[in-house]
Amino acid sequence: MAKIEFKFDIDGALQDEPLLDSYELEYMFHQTRESMVAALERKLDGVVCDEHQQEPSITITGRYDGETEQMDIDYHIDTCCQMFLLKVVNMLNNVN
Ligand SMILES: [Zn+2]
């Protein structure tokens, strides 16, 4: 199974907002993480490098922008080699 790590960042003014907003944000982050991890695990189930038998390791960063109220998602993928990286990127791009 691929290793999947999740991080969240908040940009902008939201950190100074009242508690209710950060609670809602927590909830949104939680929901996002659940659905993304489930989708990634499904896509990358049993995927290992043909040559090195290593699994990919994926770090997802969700960055919430308090100004625009948008969530940006970034992937960082670590693999044993370049060939496998390309393969994993391809699989992730072949979405849904
Ligand atoms: Zn490899």
Using the mean position of ligand 1's atoms as its centre, give its distance from the Cα of residue 47 in Å: 11
Quote the CA–CA distance of 87 and 63 in Å, as a whole number. Answer: 26
Among residues of the chain, what percentage have pLDDT more than 70?
A: 88
Structure tokens at 1: 């199974």
Structure tokens at 57: 């390791």
**pLDDT grade for 88, boundaries at 50, 70 and 90:** very high
> pLDDT (tens digit, 9 = 90+) per residue, 31-51?
888 988 898 888 899 999 999
> For 28-96, what is the HEC assignment?
HHHHHHHHHHHHHHHHCCCCCCCCCCCCCEEEEEEEEECCCCEEEEEEEEECCCHHHHHHHHHHHHCCC
Quote the CA–CA distance of 14 and 25 in Å, as a whole number. Answer: 10
> pLDDT (tens digit, 9 = 90+) per residue, 3-20?
889 888 877 655 555 555
Using the mean position of ligand 1's atoms as its centre, give its distance from the Cα of residue 77 in Å: 13
Using the mean position of ligand 1's atoms as its centre, give its distance from the Cα of residue 25 in Å: 38
